[in-house]
Structure 1
Amino acid sequence: MYPEHSGHLPAERAVTVHQPTPITHPQAAPLVPVQPGAVPSVASVVLPDGRVVTGYAINPVQPEPLAVKPAVSRAAVNVALGGVGFLAVCGGLLLLTSFIAALTAFIAQLITLAAVIFGGWVAVQIFSAGGHSGGNTFHIRKAVFKRNHFNG
């Protein structure tokens, strides 16, 4: 057995006895009313040697809550916004191509209308009996074609 545990201390070890220092109580501070839920509970523990230790119960330390991550990542949000922008551009291009196709059809209709009006004007000029006195007028009453000769 070790000499420290035998109850006898070796002579070369000096024993130092410490006397407890008396605790002076400070002046009592005025009592401040405290809400009933804010007062911690007091617990008493009986040690194996019979001493009673009284103190406040310590609540376990709650870990700091982790930073809440958004449900959707930033990259996904950026891709979605890029898709929305792309769709907006495609919609604009679709409208632009529709506008160009409508403008082309309108111009084709204008050209057709001009051709019909001009052709009608030309036909009226050709087939009108009176109107202007220039040119020769031939009245054919009876014509006979024989051997590529015209006899009228």
Structure 2
Amino acid sequence: MNHEPARWETTKTHHPVPLPPAPLVPVQQPHLPDAQTIQLPDGRLITGYAIAPTKAPEPIPQRPAINPLAVNIALGGLGFAAACGGLMLLTTFIAALAAFIHQLITLAAVIFGGFIATQVLGTNRGTGGTVVNIRRAVFKRNNFRG
């Protein structure tokens, strides 16, 4: 036989404890004005409370969502960046144009210098030039007779 206690014997039962009642705080009723009765022109009577018109709260001045000074500074920065970019492109263009002109001048000097060099240092001296035949000349008393 098993000598362990049964399951229902080990279970503890908890009984709820009632809470003490909360102290009651007296609530003051708002003061209601006296009821007033109004007679309409057609003879009907209307009874009700007179309510003082409530004053509308003063509107809060709306501030712009973005400070105009900040917008001006941002737009100035964008304009400056755009101008700097354009100036950079302009200076790049001028530098490229100057390099191109320098290359053209160098090319012209090489071509013209080569042409001059072939004329002066060419191997065909006898062809294409002026032929001068020198004969025996007789010089008599500083007179040339040829």
**TM-score, scaled to structure 1:** 0.48
**TM-score, scaled to structure 2:** 0.49
